[in-house]
Chain A
Amino acid sequence: MEKLEIQPESLTSPRPGNDLERELIGRIAVGDRDAFRDLYLRYHRRLARFLTRLTHRYEDTEEIINDTLWIVWQRAGDFRNASRVSTWVMGIAYRRALKMIRRAATHERAMTLEIAEGEAAVADPVQVTEQRQVLERALAQLPIEQRLVLEFTYYMDYSCEEIAEIMECPVNTVKTRMFNARRKLRTILAESGTTGAGEGP
């Protein structure tokens, strides 16, 4: 049997930044606005991209981000080092986003955002855009909890345990949601006449 070359991509990759972020949270807890500014800028980008995928409206994304960081400002004194800062912040953002999505079903709305030029991550942006549109339609058909597990896993690179912490549910629930999401996604993509993401690089 030929040797498998299936290796996890970042098995031992450190997760840098947590020590710095803990320091920032400590400073925010005593009212340090410079620390708040640093943390805000660190999280804005990753929250914005993640949330816009869910809400499809920059105004909603912006509101969730600002509410989330506002809560971080208020609750920094409650943060316990047992958690990662990113897990804690993402948990707050998740609950805010879930409320908004359930309230307004905003993920149905059209996204109007300025697209930066020249940042295509792959060689054929047209093809990727088409694939993404197919995938986007399929993702939109998933129950929101299942979709979020997919997003947390593949877009945010969180571990199963971290996702359980963010979503405040058992680890097995995360695995089940992911299992069901993958199965349903395959079915939807097959019905739409594409293998979608199945065309490996």
Chain B
Amino acid sequence: MSIDLEGARCEEEAARLLPWYATGRLPAADVERVTQHLERCAICRDDLAHERALRLLMKSDDRVEYAPQAGLARTLARIDELGQDAPIPTLASDQPLALPARRTGASQWLIAAVVVQAIGLGVLGASLLHRTSPDAARPQYETLSASRAQVTPGPHIRAVFAPTMTLADLKTMLTAENLTIVRGPNDAGAYTLASIDAHVARGGLDSAIAALRSDARVLFVEPAINGEPAAR
């Protein structure tokens, strides 16, 4: 049977609840009321079919995929930049927000400059230690990410990061994967990374390698084979 219901409208309250009936988000009492109404109202049955089709169509737009890691790293860096180790415990509302300004192009360059400066200082420091320390024969490590981390003798990863990678982002990335820089960069710009967990097995770095590979800011990453010279 086909009834032309185009233009017809039901003015009952139950008709206003159809969208949430279609999504299953009505309280039980309302469900009962709407169900009874639907049994006697052809207009609303037709409307319900429209609403369900509309919902399906709106949900069909789920083909877009996003990579959250970059945004997460930026937000964590924002927390780091303000030096807020803990959230503000009590504030009246979320509305009057003291959001920090968006990072400008100039500040991006400033961060890049800081990274370059830090790398330069690290290399210089390592060089001076090499000249003056009685333990010069033993490698000395200055890292950007984990000054308190222990350098482990376990398996290593070699990685090259994009020039646009900021110090904060690098720290966030390494912290997330329990990694620390043990050496580098070498002439090719490669760093040698190791787990901060001294007991990690060689295969234990697989997940970290996979994570680094999935990040567009990591240009190159591969496990360093035991005995193979690491990046210098």
Residues of A within 8 A of B (CB): 1, 4, 6, 8-11, 13, 28-31, 33, 36-37, 40-41, 44-45, 48-49, 52-53, 58, 62-63, 65-67, 69-71, 73-78, 91-92, 95, 113-116, 119-122, 128, 131-132, 135, 150-151, 153-155, 157-160, 162, 175, 178-179, 182-183, 185-186, 190, 196-201
Contacts and interface: CB of A to CB of B under 8 A. Distances in A.
Interface string B147-190: 00000000000000000000000000000100000000000000
Given A37-B76, A77-B87, A153-B23, A8 B31 contact: yes
Contacts, number: 194
B94 interface: yes
B16 A179 contact: yes
Interface of B: 6, 9, 16-17, 19-26, 28, 31, 35, 38-39, 45, 47-66, 68, 71-72, 74-76, 78-79, 84-92, 94-95, 97, 99, 102, 176
Given A71-B97, A95-B94, A201-B52, A131 B57 contact: yes
A76 B62 contact: no
B16 A77 contact: no
A8 B23 contact: yes
A6 B61 contact: no
Contacts of A52: 64
A121 B38 CA distance: 29
Contact of B76 (A31, A33, A114, A132): A33
A8 B59 contact: no
Contacts of A92: 94
A18 to B, nearest CB: 15
A132 to B, nearest CB: 6
Contacts of B23: 8-10, 153-154, 157
B58 A8 contact: no
B87 A74 contact: yes
A148 B61 CA distance: 16
A150 to B, nearest CB: 8
Contacts of B60: 121-122, 128, 132
Given A62-B71, A70-B78, A121-B60, A200 B88 contact: no
A6 B48 contact: yes
Contact of A66 (B74, B85, B97): B74
B131 to A, nearest CB: 39
A91 B94 CA distance: 10
B39 to A, nearest CB: 6
A37 B92 CA distance: 24
Given A9-B22, A175-B16, A155 B59 contact: yes
Contact of A197 (B50, B76, B84): B50
B113 to A, nearest CB: 23
Contact of A77 (B6, B56, B89): B89
15 contacts: A4-B38, A6-B48, A37-B72, A44-B66, A44-B68, A45-B66, A66-B78, A70-B78, A91-B94, A119-B65, A121-B59, A153-B55, A154-B58, A159-B25, A198-B50
Contacts of B64: 48-49, 52, 113-116
Given A121-B62, A201-B52, A78 B90 contact: yes
A8 B38 CA distance: 12
B61 A49 contact: yes
B89 A29 contact: yes
A8 B75 contact: no
A3 B54 CA distance: 24
